[in-house]
């Protein structure tokens, strides 16, 4: 099994004719993802790479291809509109890679998606990958390996580093999910942990957090109260100065709750194994598997 995506995913790439959309559409297809359509307004009727039909609207793409997921590579000014359009078309999953979406846009997007039962990953995220099956987004397929460890992360490049270390140690992954580091995101740590707990393939989870907010603390409490699957946690930004945004818009410390020290303390209090450095994650996972 896997979570969120798999062999039954039928993907639409919103912005498929743009620079980023076209590049990553090819990488996703090369990995084995079933990319059934692309959407670029005004370019309907074209074929991407002589095979994938391009439509003017998501509604047309879904009606013609039976797509059930979309990934968004459009500029920030148009990304919220692309999310609305995907939800209106009836896809179950929307993955928004685009960064820089205004918080005000996201405050309107989230209740809209909840009304329609559409799950959002992101924005400002690397997407997700099921090793050996399907990838949606920009996670590099060359570093993953099939196995029992689920990964959920607020970081992008740190996710790649951890995956690479796990694979190098012969520890494969079930599903890797980058949820994004913005203040408002569609899927949070608890959502992912709940899915991993229900996934027979996942025997342990690596949770990669960062400074800012209290999502990691909430996740730690959930792991203790609701999960039998062991969780290893790491918090990025341990040396960040207070009050400064580091990397992501959501990674800003306000008071004591958003500090790395506070998050790591709560992890330990609730039975989440704490890795102080990325290099400590592999030994910690080896201990709990």
* Residues designated catalytic: 248
CA separation, residue 194 to residues 4, 202, 221 (Å): 12, 11, 12
Q: Assess contact for 83 and 109: CB atoms under 8 A.
A: yes
Tokens of 112: 């809209």
Q: Assess contact for 58 and 14: CB atoms under 8 A.
A: yes
User: Cβ atoms within 10 A of the Cβ of 81, count?
Assistant: 14
Q: Assess contact for 187 and 175: CB atoms under 8 A.
A: no
3-state DSSP assignment of residue 81:
helix
User: Of 10, 9, 18, which Cα lies nearest the Cα of 61?
Assistant: 10
> At CA 122, angle to CA 245 and CA 100, rounded to 5?
50
CA separation, residue 18 to residues 73, 75, 210, 244 (Å): 8, 10, 31, 34
Which contacts (CB < 8 Å, 24+ apart) does range 89-92 have? 89/57, 89/58, 89/59, 89/61, 89/62, 90/62, 90/116, 91/12, 91/58, 91/62, 91/67, 91/118, 92/68, 92/117, 92/118, 92/119
Distance CA 243, CA 258 (A): 10
């Amino acid at each position: 099994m896997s979570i969120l995506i798999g062999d039954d995913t039928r993907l639409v790439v919103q912005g498929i004719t743009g620079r980023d959309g076209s590049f990553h559409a090819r990488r996703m297809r090369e990995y084995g993802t079933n990319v059934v359509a692309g959407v670029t307004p005004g370019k309907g009727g074209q074929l991407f790479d002589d095979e994938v039909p391009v439509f003017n609207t998501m509604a047309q793409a879904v009606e013609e291809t039976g797509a059930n997921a979309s990934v968004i590579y459009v500029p920030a000014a148009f990304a919220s509109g692309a999310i609305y359009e995907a939800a209106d078309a009836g896809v179950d999953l929307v993955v928004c890679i685009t960064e820089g979406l205004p918080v005000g846009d996201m405050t309107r997007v989230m209740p809209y998606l909840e009304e329609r039962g559409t799950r959002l990953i992101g924005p400002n995220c690397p997407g997700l990958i099921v090793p050996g099956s399907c990838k949606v987004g920009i996670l590099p397929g060359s570093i993953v390996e099939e196995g029992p460890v689920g990964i959920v992360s607020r970081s992008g490049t740190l996710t790649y580093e951890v995956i690479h270390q796990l694979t190098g140690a012969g520890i494969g992954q079930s599903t890797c999910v980058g949820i994004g580091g913005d203040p408002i995101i569609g899927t949070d740590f608890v959502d992912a942990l709940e899915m991993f707990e229900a996934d027979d393939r996942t025997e342990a989870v690596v949770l990669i957090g960062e400074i800012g907010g209290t999502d990691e603390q909430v996740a730690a409490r959930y792991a203790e109260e609701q999960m039998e699957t062991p969780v290893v946690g790491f918090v990025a930004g341990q040396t960040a100065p207070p009050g400064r945004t580091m990397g992501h818009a959501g990674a800003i410390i306000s008071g004591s709750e958003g500090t790395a020290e506070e998050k790591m303390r709560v992890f330990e209090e609730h039975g989440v194994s704490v890795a102080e450095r990325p290099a400590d994650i592999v030994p910690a996972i080896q201990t709990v598997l």
